[in-house]
Amino acid sequence: MSKPNILLITSDQQHWNTIGAFNPELKTPNLDRLAREGTTFSRAYCPSPVCTPSRSSIITGMYPSQHGAWTLGTKLLEDRHTVGEDLQASGYRTALIGKAHFQPLRGTDEYPSLEAYPLLQDLEFWRSFHGPYYGFDHVELARNHTNEAHVGQHYALWMEDKGCTNWRDYFLPPTGTMDPSVTHTWAIPEEFHYNTWIAERTNAWLEHYRDQEEPFFLWASFFDPHPDYLVPEPWDKLYDPNTLTIPGLVDGEHDHNPPHFRMTQEQEPDFAHLLETGHGIHGYRSHLVPDDEAKQLVATYYGMISLMDKYIGKILDKLDELGLTENTIVVFTTDHGHFFGQHGLQYKGGFHYEDLIRLPFLVRYPGQVPAGAQNPAIQSLVDLAPTFLSLCGIEPPPGMTGVDQSDVWRGLQSSARDHALCEFRHEPTTIHQKTYVDARYKLTVYYRQTYGELFDLQEDPGELRNRWADPDYAGLKSELLLKYAWAELGKEAMPMPRVWHA
């Protein structure tokens, strides 16, 4: 049997319950197709609720505290071992199309960044650069979410090559000329949207690999539905804001939570005591949004998902057209979740509710992974690298600390892990927390703080009653703290086996 191909498709900042097959308020026929033809894992988690750490974990098979890209504004150091290197050594070709975000938008002499200004927008550089990059033979990159001024790299070149010479009209100053007051409806023609670019270039590489008869690991990395909330016509009107279920704050739910939860519900909260590096801290602000605006945000967010789904479908159709479907492992997931009103919160931050750390997670591998199944076995993005290697007949290197899920995916084993860990270290000491979650309970601890969180996900799936300080839960909290300590010990890397007695 020939080596299996791997197609990883990711969105950016997508709530776990935004697939039409499981949420009838959304239209996602192509993700629904993956759910029918593969297995949906309902308990998948990110290792960090922000982009760079989580994405770096996907390719290293290690946690952020291990691979070193611990928050936004850091980089994955180039000497870190990645799954692409192991696949290349076994004859695979590797490519990434879309968002990488392994490096920050600013670099220094000591820590230069390929994804930083001004190189980000040096189009002549990107015309000739396609890798290698973190174990990928070939990359085609961009960094902007919707109309951000960070636009450039290969995406800008593609727009120009497609005849969109006025592409700057659709992006914010100082790069572009778009009016910053415009919301929700993005004037960019769909033919020049980055979803079109990602699908077109992914499909071109699928054709290349088929023609060359090369096994491949190809990552199609979409940018949506990450805010800002903008989508082209007609997707901006696909959903009526007044017919959607809009999540919101439940009175009193933050009364027993750590103080930063309650502060998000103030008009002008002061989080200055948490600032440590002098850089922005995601989520530590007022989350109050007028009701009408909250409704429109959800409608636009859903429209972004449906538009992305259309182009995921084009990639799946290309696999069929090229005769690659039967021998290709397809995984769809995201880097982390998203708040759009749940618990009174918006976007992301140091709030480890299921909405933010739980992920959509679909796996299709015809004849190998059960079709139409739903599986509650706990998954983590750190498991992708060792699992991909195992499915390709390659022994995962001992430095990877994710677990091999290949037998779980194939339905041969009920589970490979009994917990997941999520890390959020957004400042060196003031914003530093970790969450342990198992089949029933979730525990969150904060560095040098006596407050924390304990939720019973079975009795309180909405996570409305924090039991951390509840005396009736004192024994359970002690037990979970011990299990968390064991989990930390258990994820330590062993770069080599013990080969002798001394």
For CA atoms 182, 185, 188, 193, give the dihedral sign: positive
Mean pLDDT of 200-228: 98
Listing DSSP states for 263-317 in one string gives HTTSSS---GGG--SSS--TT-S-----HHHHHHHHHHHHHHHHHHHHHHHHHHH
Tokens standing for 437?
Answer: 């979650």
Q: What is the pLDDT of residue 122?
A: 96
Distance, CA of 70 to CA of 64 (rounded, Å): 5
* Spatial separation of the C-alpha atoms in residues 307 and 236, rounded to whole Å: 10
Q: Give mean pLDDT, residues 411-435.
A: 98
Would you state the structure tokens that stand for residue 483, as one six-digit string?
A: 């299990």
Compute the distance between CA of residue 215 and CA of residue 2 in angstroms, rounded to an integer. 8
Tens-digit pLDDT profile for residues 152-176: 999 999 999 999 999 999 999 999 9
Find out whether 346 and 340 touch, Cβ atoms under 8 Å.
yes
* Cα–Cα dist 126/138, whole Å: 12
Is residue 497 predicted with pLDDT exceeding 90?
no
Q: Convert the pLDDT of each residue in 481-490 to its tens digit.
A: 999 999 999 9
Classify the C-alpha dihedral 340-345-349-354 as positive or negative. Answer: negative
Number of CB atoms found within 10 A of residue 311's CB: 25
Residues with Cβ < 8 Å from 270, sequence gap 6 or more?
A: 263
Mean of pLDDT over the chain: 97
Could you write out the DSSP letters of every residue in 106-171? S--SSS--TTSTTGGG-HHHHHH----BTTBSEEEEE--STT-TT--HHHHHHHHHTT-TTGGGGS
Residue 114 has pLDDT above 60, yes or no: yes
Look at residue 345 in the predicted model and tell me its pLDDT: 98
How many Å apart are CA 17 and CA 452, to the nearest integer?
Answer: 26
Please, what is the end-to-end C-alpha distance for the chain in angstroms?
Answer: 43
193 has pLDDT over 60 = yes
pLDDT tens for each residue of 350-395: 999 999 999 999 999 999 999 999 999 999 999 999 999 999 999 9
Secondary structure of residue 203 in the 3-state scheme: helix
Q: Which element (helix H / strand E) includes 489?
A: helix 474-490
pTM greater than 0.85: yes
- pLDDT per residue as tens digits for the range 458-469: 999 999 999 999
Decide if 333 contacts 276 (C-beta within 8 A). Answer: no
- pLDDT band of residue 1 (cuts 50, 70, 90) is low
What the block records as the tokens of 12 is 């950016």
Report pLDDT for 106: 96
Token pair of 397 as six digits: 């290197």
Identify the residue with better confidence: 496 or 61.
61
Q: Where are the alpha helices (DSSP H) in 26-112?
A: 29-37, 51-60, 64-67, 83-89
**pLDDT bracket for residue 268 (50, 70, 90):** very high
Q: Indicate if the pLDDT at residue 2 is higher than 90.
A: no
Give CA–CA dist 234/247, Å, rounded: 25
